[in-house]
Structure 1
């Protein structure tokens, strides 16, 4: 590959999103079109493009959308992508590359703040051996994309901005075909060169280390409802952060004390209802009108307005939060739009909203003066304490509010008229026709049949100015009257707006969204008679491109459905990292990912994705003493248990793969964290104490932010032991001794200081003031037991609590935490209990009609697709089918040890790492993904069946794997055991430690039969 000669580029004249000054490369919610036209030689042999951007890009070649990226990462080790453009270029002609760069201008949970920039280099080679390079430099052209509305709210605090696209802005603005060679870019700006490869903040460029994600078209399955609606009359949404937390563009939570004001002109004395999206108190804890307190009920605030001007003040004081958008919905229904008028209290240009603050407290004089003001004239005397919210920091509209709070017009029988509506569900050229209602807007409720994640795409014919509003959500719940209720995820603006140009048009979204159901609201221009025609409406399913290598089937149909549901859940939560959920967050939560990785190994063989995740997490140690909770992110946060689970995960990855290169890369991170803990967070008495987020489960455990938390002390013991194991694998015997000693030190401290003699259990915590917690949880006992952080004398005592919860003890609140209980059951050999819990908790999801596993154990959960809840796929494949790695050697060795429980048969495949590395085992890797030729797929295939006096097991091993077969304890010592091999070698059956055992060589295939 040729060396980099391209320059990082940007364009001049962008603004910082409303402050009126030149930017630092961080314009707010900014969309840059960059392009370059060039000639391609007739004898083109190959053309390879390397490209990256900060923060995101969409790549076009000759007007065709090719891909998007880059991978999420840290700016100091920034990823670039590589494309083979040979099939997409036209030899002997003028060609063009177009890049849409998206720069949010502020951080989120997927993006630590960098600065805007684009880097691309096309290296072409002719058949005669001539090399031609086209790279980003000052000859490239750029301009802000005028069709993307920059005045939109955030999707959520975890994600970027809502997507609004105005197709009418393409007309006459020179952007409709801007990525084609024929386009005239003479009026566009020339790019400015930021510098060569290696400039800050992108000091190191790293090639993409996983494949590109899927783009699999999925169509709706049915239309559930058509109705005519009217949206709420008035919606205001403003971003408070630039005013009340000035200068902060991170995702770190803050507390603030402040007020938001506006003036409302009423034509008469009247009562107006105001709702803050997300429920009472989400955006305002209290409100006043003309100095008098407003009243609140379950639907919001009630404002009593007098005729004329009314000073309305909201108290937006908060203790701790990430999202600073304040959204209010005023009135609802027909005719309300013209009832009131909003005016800036200071009479200034800009928005109609003004802030006061930030203040030190609500008792501060300035706060009280504004809060107690009774009139507009009085508030203007306090001008020095007030600041108008910039117009750029207000939303042009709020699609979520317009859809979610819309009301039916009451004439559904005569409202929206349509033809051939089911054509929306068909992947052909049929067209659905929707006519303008007599009044209001047309709304369609569409079911895609299963949870999805990806890019919305549609093709339609519409009158100019028609607004198409899209809203995706995850769940419908049945109601007692036979209908259904939509469950909205408050705080998630999972929406898109498209304003149509005239005629036929196709649009592919640039935002990835998770959903199952879609509401499409069509808002026709006033007086429009012509219908909207829809030919295509689909989702481009966008996930990690797993091969479905793992399989599991047994004689219990519900367990089979549970396994498939969990595997699919894992797929939807696999992007360029593991993520918690595809809709609400799309965030790489490190602790969630430990469990997700084990599930991925058993179902898909997702080793390469896990490898990337653990190294990416380790890189967060450049700024934090422990691995951060979610990475790479604008929220610098430590969730202690997650940092410890990362160590577990690194050890497990090597145990599964034997990837020596990974061990060399990750071991310095592991030692850095574990020594940081020993040096900075171990008390003299040996207990681990850290001020951090110390949760484990969505349950009422006592896990204070400051203090000693028992479950994570136990997890630290296990983390030190695993670090010691990794040290031995790395040949670092002194490190191993150090970590073993630290593990013993913490274990001793747990048993000396955290045991309660009266309760005969471990307390949840010791608070920072020395107060011992009065909360006892099964989670804490489980973690101490699982991590072997308990004395031999106490072990059977706390073991009982895992099977018979004592009165008053906290029980598990999430499938995530149940994973550790199931691990403890597996450690005890209580596999029937595992099946019982799986059937009860996950079977309830199947019975409810879920297509993916829920975040919590009830259907009224926040996320209806959450891979931290996909545990059964791991436990069924690992224990019922019976395949798990021995690990820790340079040879791929596995146990095949089925646990039949109450099942009669099971069969399946367990994926093992593909290829070789360092002469040992693991996933073979190259410096970049392009050109990688993986070895043949490899899975361990197992089938077993049994009756009252017989057990038969069939197996087939890949040529790189050997196994020890361990028959279940139902096969007695006196049984007759025979081995019949089709291929390979086997030892004679031997009865040891209450099991029959047979070792088989690499690539063996055959049958083992036992009868008694």
Structure 2
């Protein structure tokens, strides 16, 4: 059963407003409050009549980190009522109409089922000449969000139903000269670090009247439906938010100097030429360069992210720690050889940092080529024992490297023009005096500018706090001398003045200013709370930089804040808020694991995120999109892939099975039968693939895949029989049976239930340890039984009803009381399953204890969002890696579901129960959104009783203490 609109009829113009994002989704907007969780509103728009063709720059099909500025003028008649723009691009676009920025897209998708966006441009166009201007960013390489295809743009402007502009060979384009293509990857999961030189900007190119006659005509790629974009489908979720957020504090201003030299280059084109996937690869190889010291020097050598294992200078070995502390090098030439071999590389950029206090250091190519990049690669080799590797590694002269048959130059196109991360992280503080006026204006909406004068020596670094975790696009407004460099490095956490830099992520940009006032908006999404802003004045500068604004446009799924939770415990209220904020920040065009490091749609994470979003916001459209998108990965893999749509072809078995479970849960919370009909063929396909290909002779699931469940030392090898995922499969088949039964496929439902019972019996026959009264973690591929017993495996056994009835009490004890020597729960993600199991056992009090302990710790540490891991997983230096991870936001589900006690009994809350728990709380209240409207509930402790006040929406029935209550307000004592 879908939701309905409050209006008696659904006006077409309101539908267009929803699609275009011009109607904000907030608690004051009654129109959006009861629109269907499940409804695919794009189906209400008639089938698209494309007259546009796919076009591209008349050059390389898939250039690396390429920015294409393209525009088209069009004329509108004297009288018109409506104008819309349909647009998509590969890989991403930013679009303007008559200089008005509209948005960024498209949503992530597999190339063969690409998506387009529709904007209502009526407010931004006029009678006569208009222009649409598009900046297309083609990645030229796969990420965890994108499969490499080829560059392309498809756009069509319609006025009152008539096409007035459509992409073809008449559109004018040019490679945007201000964007630097030679940059490092942000991370293996994301695309490229950003550098913009405003001195080369195409000023006013997004406005009508701009002279583009010197630009090239576009080349036509093909009609709609051509490869690789076989289908082009409408966007299936609303546009994301664009909320400006200012900084809250400036924590520090100081002068710094960058390290003396930073060299950054991509090893993949040399070691694995032609591979544009994101699949991990191992390799064995070295890089080499010739150092020339002007005098005896102490040189500190560091690597950035993908580092060296050992480095040699003239045959003498240094560990990374020794090299970072300083190497004494004599005057003259020296051969540096670094072993960069690795067994598991997703992303291959290698950064080298040289720093020193005195003297001059230069580097040059051992191949002797004038003008060549100073580093060369040697390899790749089969193993470190390979004679070719040994001869390169033990070389002591440039001539030996030059004579090596596997030596290759690093091409300049595969190097980075800047490494802002290294230049800021390894910056050295200086004692130079500073002159800064009005620093408060950067964090206040007032007419003053923050004025920063050039210091006598060094650069000026501002340490800025935005007050809470954010994700979005930076924008700056400033006046600066020409050539001033502005470097930003964003991060999530600092403690006692120490910064936890985002190692593994270039969360940075570089902006080079033109003369005068300018506004610039980044086209790269970043997650962060803090940032350093380093201002590097040009040599001899005397004019100040005036900063009028630095802001982030918060860019998330446009949830309405319908759901509410409050209680007599202020700590639980704070935990609810950080959990809900975490869910929001991890809701982009899909659910993502985190807004900073990866921004990746991990399918198993999304099972939990979906549940959390239902109760934290009451909007299931993003969950619907994610579940269907994940199912599409079966076009190339036998099980739903771990993260989609991705250049890494990977199966994480538990994630595939949690996807099936999430599909059933989505139907339970929304009643969206149309979704069930759409997703069920994928559920069936995965079930058949598993049963036909991966059930072994013992009747157990055995698959070579990534078989983890938790960030903990469980015994879950890549091959063999892994216990927890056999248990998940039992539950996945049961949930499949429920879906099949709803759709009238009784024979398939019975089959899945038979498979589930057979697998349950096999688990108890082969994976039970009678001596330890627990299930072992696995059976290894060679037949060895695991010696590891984990709390995680026992928790899944209890959740999935694998445990025989006479063992249930024992396993309920295991949920919180862990015997000595067992592996314990290691992350908030796994703790969410512990919480579910405790609810099943009826122990809500223990749930509140866990929430107060583990999530209360986050609140007490000043967190504004939930951490990826518990302290200790990364050692003692830092609390966690990611400080915003929605797989950890379990309280957003547990508090309304278990304290307020509102849970569906029938799909879409047609019948729901109210089974509250106050425990030591005096009162609790809140709002739980449903497809039929809001369930408002208030609980009050009165002696031995709980007074329950509840509002039941129309068309639903509440069950309280075994009694049914229809629409309206009710008060019940329990």
Shift of 1:795: 3.0
Equivalent of 1:11, from 29, 34, 57? 57
Paired residues for 1:956-967 under 5 Å: 956-966=951-961
How many Å separate the matches in 2 of 1:952 and 1:379? 82
What residue in structure 1 maps to residue 618 of structure 2?
Answer: 605
Match of 1:395 in 2: 416
1:220–1:729 distance in 2 versus 1, CA, 3 Å: same
Which residue of 2 is the match for residue 309 of structure 1?
A: 333
Aligned CA distance change for structure 1 residues 299 and 346 (closer, same or farther; 3 Å): closer
Give the corresponding residue for 2:138.
Answer: 103
Q: How many residue pairs get matched? A: 922
| Counterpart position of 1:190 | 217
For 1:723 and 1:662, the matched residues in 2 are separated by 14
Cα distance, 1:772 vs structure 2: 1.0
Alignment check: 8 A CA contact 2:156 2:163 kept:
no
Secondary structure of the structure 1 residue equivalent to 2:380: coil
Shift of 1:303: 4.4
Structure 2 residue aligned with 1:664: 677
Which residue among 68, 81, 87 is the counterpart of 1:51? Answer: 87
Q: d(CA) in 1 for partners of 2:335 and 2:93?
A: 45
Check the 8 A contact 2:139/2:191 in 1, yes or no.
Answer: yes
Structure 1 range deviating more: 756-765 or 575-584 = 756-765
Q: Is the 8 A contact 1:451 1:514 kept in 2?
A: yes
Matches within 5 A, 1:724-763: 724-763=737-776
2:459 counterpart residue number: 441
Give the match's secondary structure for 1:720.
Answer: helix
CA distance in 1, matches of 2:705, 2:661: 19
Q: Which residue in 1 is equivalent to 2:153?
A: 118
1:340 paired with 2:362, answer yes
Measured after TM superposition, the shift of residue 348 of structure 1 is 5.6
- Aligned partners of 1:699, 1:576: CA distance in 2, in Å? 30
Distance 1:135 1:385, change over 3 A: same
The whole-number CA distance in structure 1 between the counterparts of 2:139 and 2:909 is 47
* Structure-to-structure mapping, 1:828-867, within 5 angstroms: 828-858=841-871, 860-867=879-886
Task: Tell me what 1:921 maps to.
Answer: none
Return the offset for 1:44: 2.0
Partner Cα distance (1:428, 1:648) in 2: 52
Equivalent-residue separation in structure 1 for 2:147 and 2:768 (angstroms): 41
Match of 1:991 in 2: none
Q: Is the Cα contact below 8 Å between 2:627 and 2:659 reproduced in 1?
A: yes
Alignment of 1:291-310 (within 5 A): 291-297=315-321, 300=324, 302-310=326-334
Deviations 1:31-50 (A, max 9, x none): 00011112221212211111
* Separation in structure 2 between the aligned mates of residue 652 and residue 132 of structure 1, nearest angstrom: 43
Counterpart-to-counterpart distance in 1, 2:538 and 2:414: 27
Q: 1:376-395, aligned counterparts within 5 Å?
A: 376-382=398-404, 384-395=405-416
Q: Partner residue of 2:639?
A: 626
TM-score scaled by length of structure 2? 0.93
3-state SS, counterpart of residue 202 of structure 1: coil
Cα deviations by residue, 1:122-171 (Å, 9 ceiling, x for unpaired): 1112xxxx83431000000111000000011011111110010000112x
Structure 1 residue 803 displacement after superposition: 2.8
* Pairs within 5 Å for 1:398-477: 398-411=419-432, 415-477=433-495
Q: 1:575 to 1:434 in 2, by over 3 A?
A: same
Which residue of structure 2 lines up, in the alignment, with residue 874 of structure 1? 893
How far the C-alpha of 1:893 sits from its partner, in A, is: 1.5
What are the superposed Cα offsets for residues 756-796 of structure 1, whole Å, 9 maximum, x if unpaired?
12211111111111111111111111101110012223333
Q: How do residues 797-836 of structure 1 correspond to structure 2 at under 5 angstroms?
A: 797-836=810-849
Corresponding residue SS for 2:131: strand
| Cα offsets for 1:642-671 (capped at 9, x unmatched) | 111001100000011111110011000001
Q: CA deviation at 1:296?
A: 4.1
Match of 1:144 in 2: 175
Counterpart CA distance in 1 for 2:807 and 2:846 is 22
Distance in 1 separating the partners of 2:142 and 2:64: 10
In 1, are the aligned partners of 2:302 and 2:320 still within 8 Å (CA)? no
Please list the CA deviations of residues 608-662 of structure 1 after superposition, one character each: whole Å capped at 9, or x if unmatched. 0000000000000000011011111111111111111001100000011111110
1:296/1:142 CA distance change after superposition, 3 Å: closer
Cα distance in 1 between the residues matched to 2:320 and 2:415: 25
Aligned 8 A contact 2:812 2:838 in 1: no
RMSD between aligned residues: 1.4
Q: How far 1:297 moved relative to its partner?
A: 2.4
Task: Check if 1:901 corresponds to 2:925.
Answer: no
CA distance in 1, matches of 2:799, 2:909: 28
Query: Partners of 1:378 and 1:448 in 2: how far apart?
Result: 53
Q: What are structure 1's unaligned runs of at least 5 residues?
A: 14-22, 479-483, 915-937, 967-996
Q: Is the 1:289–1:303 Cα contact (8 Å) retained in structure 2?
A: no
Q: Could you tell me which residue of structure 2 aligns to residue 952 of structure 1?
A: 947
- Give the conservation status (yes or no) of the 8 Å contact 1:462–1:532: yes
Contact 2:301 2:326 in 1 (8 A): yes
Cross-structure match for 1:254 = 281
**C-alpha contact 2:260 2:354 (8 A) present in aligned 1:** yes
Deviations 1:704-728 (A, max 9, x none): 1111111111111100100111110
Aligned match of 1:765: 778
Secondary structure, aligned partner of 2:739: helix
The residue correspondences of 1:19-38 to structure 2 (distance < 5 A) are 23=60, 25-38=61-74
Q: Partners of 1:743 and 1:298 in 2: how far apart?
A: 56
Partner of 1:481: none
Aligned counterparts, 1:674-753, within 5 A: 674-753=687-766
Partner Cα separation in structure 1 for residue 911 and residue 192 of structure 2: 48
1:39 corresponding residue in structure 2:
75
Post-superposition CA distance 1:285-314 (Å, at most 9, x none):
112222332344266375454433222111
Tell me the equivalent position of 1:993. Answer: none
Give, in angstroms, the shift of residue 428 of structure 1. Answer: 3.2
Segment of structure 1 superposing worse, 266-275 or 751-760: 266-275
Q: Secondary structure at the match of 2:292?
A: strand
* Counterpart for residue 154 of structure 1: 185
Where has structure 1 moved over 6 Å in runs of 4 or more? none
Taking the aligned partners of 1:793 and 1:672, their CA distance within structure 2 comes to: 36
Check whether the contact 1:451–1:516 (CA below 8 A) recurs between aligned residues. Answer: yes
Deviations 1:207-261 (CA, angstroms, capped at 9, x unpaired):
0111000000111111100000001010011100011011101110001111111
**Does structure 1 conserve the Cα–Cα contact (< 8 Å) formed by 2:292 and 2:333?**
yes
Task: Please list the CA deviations of residues 532-573 of structure 1 after superposition, one character each: whole Å capped at 9, or x if unmatched.
Answer: 001111111111000001000111111011011100111001
Aligned to 1:592, what secondary structure does the other structure show?
helix
Specify which of 539, 560, 577 is matched with residue 526 of structure 1: 539
**Contact 1:747-1:790 at 8 Å conserved across structures:** no
2:903 is the counterpart of 1:884 = yes
Map of 2:968 onto structure 1:
1004
Is this contact kept in 2: 1:654–1:887, CA < 8 A?
Answer: no
Preserved contact between residue 682 and residue 688 of structure 1 (Cα < 8 Å): yes
1:267 corresponds in structure 2 to 294
Q: Would the aligned equivalents of 1:962 and 1:1004 in 2 still touch at CA under 8 Å? A: no
Please give the TM-score of this superposition, normalised by the length of structure 1.
0.90
- Residue of structure 2 aligned with 1:517, choices 530, 533, 557: 530
Q: Equivalent residue of 1:794, what SS?
A: helix
Shift of 1:683: 0.6
**Distance change in 2, residues 1:4/1:295 (3 Å):** closer
Corresponding residue to 2:567 among 554, 575, 580: 554
Q: How many Å apart are 1:342 and its aligned residue?
A: 3.0
Q: 1:298 to 1:899 in 2, by over 3 A?
A: farther
| Structure 1 contact 294–302 (Cα < 8 Å) conserved | no
CA distance in 1, matches of 2:750, 2:368: 69
